[in-house]
Amino acid sequence: MKKFVKVLAMALLFGFCAAAWAEQPVMNRGQYRKNLIYNKNFLPAGWQYEAGYAIWRMNRNLQVNRHTYKRYKNDRAWHSAMQRYYRPQQIALNTVDWTVEELALFLRQHQDYLKFHPAGFED
C-alpha cells in the first residue's frame, strides 16, 4: 500500500510539473536579446564556434568552456579599451610601420652603419 501511495504521489507531482513546464512560452528574439544584456551567465548562441574565440583558444592551448569564453570576452574588451584610450600612441606607431621589403632595402643600403661594435674594441 505504501508503494502504491508513493507511486501515485510521484505521478501527480509529475503531472502538475509537466503542465507547468508546458505553459512556459518559447523564448522569442526580444527575450533572447534581453537575456544577453541583463544575464551575465547567458552565452550567445553558437559561442563555441566563434572564429575569434577559436583562434584565441588555439594560441593559448585552452579548452572550449564557459570560463575560457569569459576570459576571451574580457581580453577582447581590454584590447579595445587600449585602442580607445591610447590612440595617439597607436597613430604614431602606425606611421613608422614599414613593410618587409622597405626594411630589407633600408638594411641593404645602410649595412655599414648597422654593424655591431662591442664596447672596448676599436677599429
pLDDT band at 118 (very low <50, low <70, confident <90, very high): low
Q: Which long-range contacts (CB under 8 A, 24 or more apart) does 72-81 make?
A: 76/52
pTM: 0.43
- pLDDT at 123 > cutoff 60: no
Alpha helices in the chain (DSSP H): 2-23, 29-38, 51-60, 66-85, 87-95, 100-109
| Predicted confidence (pLDDT) at residue 93 exceeds the cutoff of 60 | yes
Measure the CA–CA gap between 64 and 73, rounded to whole angstroms: 13
* Residue 117 grid coordinates: 661594435
Question: Which of 14-18, 24-28, 90-94, 96-100 has the highest average model confidence (pLDDT)?
Answer: 24-28
